[in-house]
Copies of this chain bind each other. A is one copy, B any other.
């Protein structure tokens, strides 16, 4: 059973992204205006490179979480829009640095910025966007929001370093892998959701609930991303299937296939991922091994489980359009690209 089939059987096929998109449409227009406004600089290279990534149409899932969370908490001001834009800038900065670190060639279906302007410009424009993100947060003036987002910035970098240290190491445990994606991906989802409660000055229980929601959603999102790298199609993903394989990235599908594999199969993983010796047909063979050991389905199953946790975390909130949108986006994240 492939990933598409295994996911199709989940009870997650709700309206997906549509309710969230409808809920945040007006505010996201504001977010997008701020993003364009703050990617401006007299230094030409900055807007040029930043726009390459900004205009390439990411989903803007993280800022949408901030907007929807603020709405869920009954927030009536304007600051959520600026915080949402800051969250997206933090994410964009991470992508620029990620591509340099991973030596990626494709991002969001376009050539990676580092190939067009060089690694150096990608590092520095990433730094600029991170600086702008902090400026925007400081302008909002909410110390609780600043605390949440500055924590996330440090934790994300920690997660990226953990991932780098684990690269090519097939002995990486499932626990280590989860710690990595918790930090590199889920920390920003958690922070994006939690700041919505923070600026609405809601009780701690609601802030914690939104944090737990974002964290579980982020883990589910990354699990699916890692599964798709061995089973999705490039056009939908906006990246190449097999990127993780070629980079020697140790993700859950690999960990499971390795653990469940024969000595001969483990030798294959060691050659391809640890030694980086990849021959024609190796990616296909890797996918065959994963199917044999149901590594993709098991990864998708864990994603579904984290998706359930995300939904459960929202039980403290009353029903309504914001809650509906946040519940439904879980289905989108777990079943995305299908």
Contacts and interface: CB of A to CB of B under 8 A. Distances in A.
Nearest to A159: B43
Nearest to A143: B141
A42 to B, nearest CB: 8
A282 B119 CA distance: 28
Question: What is the copy number of this chain in the assembly?
Answer: 2
A160 B127 contact: yes
A150 interface: yes
A151 B42 CA distance: 15
A248 B165 CA distance: 33
Interface string A129-150: 0111011011101010011001
A127 B150 CA distance: 11
Interface of A: 41-46, 97, 100-101, 119-121, 123-125, 127-128, 130-132, 134-135, 137-139, 141, 143, 146-147, 150-151, 153-158, 160-162, 164-165
24 contacts: A41-B161, A43-B158, A44-B165, A45-B165, A46-B161, A97-B123, A100-B120, A100-B123, A120-B164, A121-B164, A127-B153, A127-B156, A128-B157, A130-B130, A130-B157, A131-B150, A131-B153, A131-B155, A134-B150, A135-B150, A135-B154, A138-B143, A138-B147, A141-B143
